[in-house]
Amino acid sequence: MSQEVYLTTPIYYVNDVPHIGHAYCTLATDTLVRYWRKKIGKENVFFLTGTDENSQKTVDAAKASGKDIPEYLDEMAGIWKSTWDQIGVSYDDFIRTTEKRHWGVVNEVFKKIHGKGDIYKDTYVGKYCTGCEAFIKDSELDEHGYCPHHKRPPQLLEEENYFFRLSKYQDELIKWYKNQPEQLMPDSRRNEVMSFIKSGLEDVSISRETAEFGIPLPIDPKHKVYVWFDALINYYSALQGTKYEHFWESAQHIIGKDIIRFHCVIWPAMLMSAGIELPKNVFAHGFFTIDGVKMSKSLGNVISPLELSEKYGNDALRVGLLSSFEFGNDGDFSLAHFDDFYRTKLSGGVGNLFNRVITLFHKLWDGKKPYIEKSQKSGEGWEERFSQALEKKRVKEALDVFFEMVDACNRHINDVQPWKLDPPDARASMNKLLTMLVTLTDMAEVILPESVVKMRKMLGDDEKVGDAEILFERK
Ligand code: ME8
């Protein structure tokens, strides 16, 4: 069977509109998807994103907006979807957890886990943070007794809950991670998850008695399925009953480090219990701050991806975000740095290079090309380094290879000054540059999906280069 790749992003909460943190994860996944589509063919790749809608946060946000819940959900899901469309996210499917297709599969998975004897009823007494949509232990609260992420006091709850026997899967999970070290990336995250599992797993509540909205629990409809239990199943439910079911065997989840325990402890244990194959890989990326400060509504420093895309274009948004720091690490984002990156690397780097080379061809030989072997490579292993980085999900490293190559070309033009050379030497030098531009254009198909159209036009046909165009307007 041919190789297949199924990549997913988290499904995002719809209590607010997308910010650049969400766009960061979604564009990184989209970039990996584009790489694989190019390498193994579009039909062998499936890309899922969507929205997480059965949560208390959503109910609260709908109430605050004065709308009824379904109307609010449709409006918000529409905003998320159209944001991804506007910034060039090429998802194959967009799942909403309020869809019937999802509820049906959640019911089936729940019944399998119940059938295995892994669900029981008990009273839960504890603290719940609606921001995290999770129970929170006293030891995890900050010095004021607040949730450290949402800076709010959690809600004290005492209710009848159904529990999932997570503790039963502790040894199986340890064995599974030991046997498949590649399963969870980067390494630092695997170590974190392993020590969490080894410290002892407690059973988790998977229903809410007081939730106002959500999927009724199949065995006791007064209760609602806990939002995380329902949400994780989206990756599986989106494929069920479609011709894409077989993609499940190649599932790879891209997530932020904040939701690692749900994806790397609870989710695999749920699948083990239900007798469903486990995902092939989970990659947890880091979080970024804005000018050194956590991005938050109350601080007023939330940046919309649409704002950046309108000013600088979609390709700049993508590579500007993804080259800020290595995928997997934490880092910082600043508008000043982004603007500088645009001017030096895009407008002054790639744009300038393509413009100069094509203009020189017109000046020196009326646009006529030298003969280039179709299979000719640019040498120095750029393509290999670019591919290897993306296969390891080292997105920034791949972008660095691209920009290193752009810089090498620009340096070559400055140092060699082909227009001053004798015609045969000038031909050889321009031949080399054109070959490198072809390689850069191949890479751009993955990382600069909008500009690549102009780049291809500039490269022209077998005989002549096209017209020189502006790739990145000066700002
Ligand atoms: O957690 N830096 O959804 P969510 C980088 N619905 N990435 C960031 C970020 C930042 N500052 N802020 C957010 C949920 N993200 C659940 C997921 S999946 C079955 C359910 C990204 O809307 C990061 O990828 O809170 C993080 O994991 C995700 O947004 C959380 O999105």
Check: CB of residue 224 under 8 Å from CB of residue 217: yes
Over 311-350, what HEC string results?
HHCHHHHHHHHHCCCCECECEEECHHHHHHHHHHHHHHHH
What is the model's pLDDT at position 371? 60
User: Catalytic site residue 25?
Assistant: no
Model pLDDT for residues 433-447, shown as the tens digit of each residue: 999 999 999 999 999
Could you tell me the end-to-end alpha-carbon distance of the chain, in angstroms, rounded to an integer?
A: 49
Counting from 1 in the atom list of ligand 1, the atom nearest the Cα of 55 is 6
Residue 245: partners with Cβ closer than 8 Å, 6 or more residues away:
239
User: CA geometry: angle at 466 spanning 464 and 467, to 5°?
Assistant: 135
**Of 52-61, 334-343, 364-373, minimum mean pLDDT range:** 364-373
pTM value? 0.95
**Both tokens assigned to 253:** 């989840």
Model pLDDT for residues 407-434, shown as the tens digit of each residue: 999 999 999 999 999 988 999 899 899 9
Q: HSE (CB half, 13 Å, CA atoms) of 224?
A: 17
At residue 131 the predicted structure's pLDDT band, cuts being 50, 70 and 90, is confident
Name all residues whose Cβ lies below 6 A of ligand 1.
10-13, 21-22, 24-25, 52, 231-232, 234, 255-256, 258-259, 287-288, 295
Nearest residue (CA) to ligand 1, atom 13: 21
> For a substitution probing ligand 1, which of 132, 226, 258 has the most ligand atoms within 8 Å of its CB?
258
Classify 261 as helix, strand or coil: helix
* For residues 29-56, average pLDDT: 98
Nearest residue (CA) to ligand 1, atom 22: 12
Question: Which class for 119: exposed (0-12), middle (13-18), buried (19 or more C-beta within 10 A)?
Answer: buried
pLDDT above 90 for 305: yes
At residue 2 the predicted structure's pLDDT band, cuts being 50, 70 and 90, is confident
Q: What is the DSSP string of 451-472?
A: HHHHHHHHH-SSSB------SS
> 129, 264, 393, 454: which one is catalytic?
129
Nearest residue (CA) to ligand 1, atom 4: 12
Which domains occur in the chain, in start order? 5-286 (3.40.50.620), 334-459 (1.10.730.10)
User: Catalytic site residue 264?
Assistant: no
Distance CA 322, CA 156 (A): 40
What is the model's pLDDT at position 263? 98
In the sheet with 134-136, reading across from the earlier edge strand, the strands are 134-136, 119-129, 155-164, 204-205
pLDDT above 80 for 156: yes
> 25, 57, 102, 132: which one is catalytic?
132
**Of 143-152, 277-286, 454-463, minimum mean pLDDT range:** 143-152
Check residue 53 and report its DSSP letter.
-
Residue position matching structure tokens 């380094």:
385
Integer angstrom CA distances of residue 172 from 14, 68, 198, 341, 460:
34, 44, 11, 47, 57
At residue 85 the predicted structure's pLDDT band, cuts being 50, 70 and 90, is very high
| Closest by CA position to 361, among listed 462, 414, 431 | 431
Distance CA 341, CA 335 (A): 10
Residue 424 CA to ligand 1 centre (angstroms): 56
* For residues 287-316, average pLDDT: 94
Q: What is the DSSP string of 195-214?
A: HHHHT-PPPEE-EESS-SSS
Integer angstrom CA distances of residue 349 from 338, 406, 414:
14, 6, 13
pLDDT above 80 for 377: no
Residue 471: partners with Cβ closer than 8 Å, 6 or more residues away:
346, 347, 350, 351, 354, 355, 451, 454, 455
pLDDT above 60 for 376: no
pLDDT above 90 for 235: yes
Distance CA 386, CA 415 (A): 25
Q: What are phi and psi of 427, to 5 degrees?
A: -60, -50
Distance CA 40, CA 29 (A): 16
Residue 256 CA to ligand 1 centre (angstroms): 6
User: Catalytic site residue 362?
Assistant: no
Average per-residue pLDDT in the chain? 95
Q: What is the DSSP string of 281-305?
A: EEEEE--EEETTB---TTTT----H
pLDDT above 70 for 145: yes
Distance CA 379, CA 435 (A): 9
Distance CA 23, CA 288 (A): 12
Distance CA 317, CA 311 (A): 9
> 294, 337, 457, 475: which one is catalytic?
294
pLDDT above 60 for 13: yes
Nearest residue (CA) to ligand 1, atom 29: 22
pLDDT above 60 for 375: no
The H helix count followed by the E strand count for the chain is: 18, 15
What is the model's pLDDT at position 380? 76
pLDDT above 70 for 405: yes
**Both tokens assigned to 61:** 């946000």
> 137, 222, 297, 420: which one is catalytic?
297
* 151 or 220, greater pLDDT: 220
User: Catalytic site residue 132?
Assistant: yes
Helix (H) or strand (E) holding 6: strand 5-13
List, as own/partner pairs, every contact residues 450-459 make where C-beta atoms lie below 8 angstroms and the sequence separation is at least 24, other chains included.
Answer: 450/88, 450/313, 450/314, 450/315, 451/315, 451/350, 455/354, 458/354, 458/358, 459/434
What is the model's pLDDT at position 1? 58
Distance CA 428, CA 175 (A): 58
